[in-house]
Amino acid sequence: MDIRLLGPVEVFSGRDRVPTGRRQLRAVLAALAADAPRLVPTTVLIDRVWGEDPPARVRQAVWTRVADVRRVLGGGAEPRVLWRPSGYLLRVEPDQVDLHRFRGLTGAARRPGCPDTERVALLAAALELWQGPPLAGLRGEWVERQRESWQLERLDAAIAWARASSRIGQHTAVIPVLRALIEDHPYAEPVAAELTRALFADNRNGEAIAECQAACDRLYRKLGVTPGRELRALHRALLTGEQLPEPAAQPGAKPLVVPAQLTADVAAFAGRGGELARLDGMLAETAEVVIIAVSGAAGVGKSAFAVHWAHRVRDRFPDGNLYVDLRGSDRERQALDPAEATRLCLDALGVPAERVPAELDARTALYRSLLAGRRMLVVLDDAVDSAQVRPLLPGTSGCVVVVSSRATLTGLIAAHGARVLALGPLSRAEARELLDARLGGARTGAEPAAVADIITACACSPLALATAATRAVIEPRLRLSVLAGELTRSPS
């Protein structure tokens, strides 16, 4: 069984193509295969296939299309598509889906110490899996976003292949491939730089100068940005006869800037053991982009929770971490504009101000290109809605994004398969743990009844408990019974 997504959605049994029928069947198959063998929640499946225009009896439509997929895939006594109370999963091995084979090959090519000859072979095999635009013949918001994301992965792999090929002297072979890439990605500076180097190494100096100049002109005239340092250095070296500079970064190398933007961890964080374990489990599920939406009412501790968990796992992300306060609930300042949020991320990633594109789409493309192939943690705190967050989502595997918001962020769940963690009030035991951590066990142990009354008055809200604890810390002579009485009479 071979399921193909990197081109038209097709199924092969050996060398024989299996008829897949109507478009909706292929859409359901693609929505399941993209995450195989992980479970796809029913709500996510519906949004991937029908978007904002589901049929009136959408659950019946899902059942019908899933039955069609089972018929196409076969599987004997146990069907290929399994139902679970929360959704469906495709029972296949990852290497039975071309997308996952592609990622396995590119991951192997990125491993430290991989010889260039082996890297070239691995990346060539990965690129040969592509049969055209991914998910060809399908349409919809999820399809468009996946298509863009996967094509960025292909671009990253093609650049890595070209660099490794050039290092072992195969300059001539990479030139036509890079020219085709330039047609599809005219503003991708690494492609233009590699094509310039390959032409020069092939003793085609005039073409190398012309190609480099054309790339600089496109960036300046179409995007209004100054070409990057690498292209400028190449152009100068070609005109002066100097030795060409080395590539800005080799495949798999760390970025020049490793941002570390997480805010300080909460000193007396307490409770939430179950929720922290759930996030750990989400992180372990997949090597692809993980988006975790942490939601909850005001004062429930979303920001503190997200930052605390990020500190727990930050060592797993050697390429750094980004933190952006989106100011969704800030009463004194406007919510952060997506274009400004993206600019802040580009600045943290070391992009000079003069190279930051003016348009949001161009900023997003540059941001995703910089994150491609990296292991980075991104914390987006206090989001207004999904639209504010979308430009800040990485396009390729390896990154984890944690978004906190009072909203449920259904757009991220529908279009991007975000995992959801809804925070409620603390348990009474966790609330007691918080007060013990803030006030010390001796003080809380001396007045257990007052502590219980404070917890009740604060309704186990982390913010309310922290505020009450702050009052007690500021006034060390204040009896907790007095504080409890004040809170009970006037809990606001």
Q: Does residue 223 register a pLDDT over 50?
A: yes
Residue 66 and residue 22 share a domain: yes
In a domain, residue 258? The reply is no
Paired residues of 321 in beta bridges: 260, 377
Contact 302, 295 (CB under 8 A): yes
Domain endpoint, select from 136, 157, 178: 136
- One-letter amino acid of 84: R
- Based on the structure, what is the number of domains in the chain? 4
Our CA angle for 359, 363, 367, nearest 5°, is 175
Q: Residue 18: enclosing H or E segment and its boundaries?
A: strand 16-18
Structure tokens, 52: 């904002």
Task: Tell me which of 381, 407, 422 is where a domain ends.
Answer: 422
Boundary-marking domain end, from 253, 285, 306: 253
Question: On the CB side of 208, how many CA atoms lie within 13 Å of its CA?
Answer: 23
At residue 440, φ and ψ (nearest 5 deg) are: 95, 140
Q: What is the pTM of this model?
A: 0.59
Q: Using one digit for the tens of pLDDT, what is the confidence trace for 295-336?
A: 988 888 899 899 999 998 888 888 889 999 999 888 888 999
In a domain, 161, yes or no: no
Q: Is 31 within 8 Å of 37 (Cβ atoms)?
A: no
* Predicted pLDDT at 254: 40
Same domain? For 182 and 293 the reply is no
Token code pair at residue 112: 């430290």
Residues 405 and 289 in one domain: yes
**Nearest of 444, 445, 438 to residue 471 by alpha carbon:** 438
DSSP 3-state assignment of 472? helix
Flag whether pLDDT at 7 surpasses 80.
yes
Co-location of 93 and 50 in the same domain:
yes
Given pLDDT bands bounded at 50, 70 and 90, which one contains residue 343?
A: very high
Mean residue pLDDT of the chain comes to 87
Residue 255: the pLDDT is: 44
375 within some domain: yes
Query: Which parts of 338-422 fold into alpha helices (H)?
Result: 338-348, 360-371, 386-389, 410-416
The answer on 396 and 319 residing in a single domain is yes
* DSSP tag of 9: -
Task: Specify the CATH number for the domain of residue 93.
Answer: 1.10.10.10
Q: Are residues 223 and 300 in the same domain?
A: no
248 and 277 housed in the same domain: no
Pair (337, 397) in one structural domain = yes
Q: Which residue has tokens 């796809």?
A: 40
CATH code where residue 247 lies: 1.25.40.10
Within a domain: 146: no
Q: Which residues pair with 16 in a beta bridge?
A: 13
In the chain, helix, strand, coil percent, each to 5? 55, 10, 35
Same domain, 13 and 65: yes
Compute the distance between CA of residue 240 and CA of residue 455 in angstroms, rounded to an integer: 74
Q: How many residues does the chain have?
A: 492
- The vertex-244 CA angle with 239 and 249, nearest 5°, equals 135
Mean pLDDT across the stretch 144-173? 88
Mean pLDDT of 272-280: 86
Q: How confident is the model at residue 286 (pLDDT cuts 50, 70, 90)?
A: low
Burial class (CB in 10 A: 0-12, 13-18, 19+), 90: buried
Residues 476 and 391 in one domain: no
Which distant-in-sequence residues (6+ apart) come within 8 Å of 257 by Cβ? 320, 348, 349, 350
Q: Quick one: tokens of 65?
A: 């299309």
Please tell me the distance from the alpha carbon of residue 43 to that of residue 51, in angstroms, as a whole number: 10
Asked whether residue 350 falls in the same domain as residue 219, the answer is: no
Task: Specify the residue for token string 């599809």.
Answer: 184
> Residue 334 belongs to a domain with what CATH number?
3.40.50.300
Domain of residue 239 covers 169-253
What is the rounded distance in angstroms from the CA atom of residue 378 to the CA atom of residue 399?
A: 8
Same domain, 418 and 291: yes
* Cis? peptide before 318, omega within 30° of 0: no
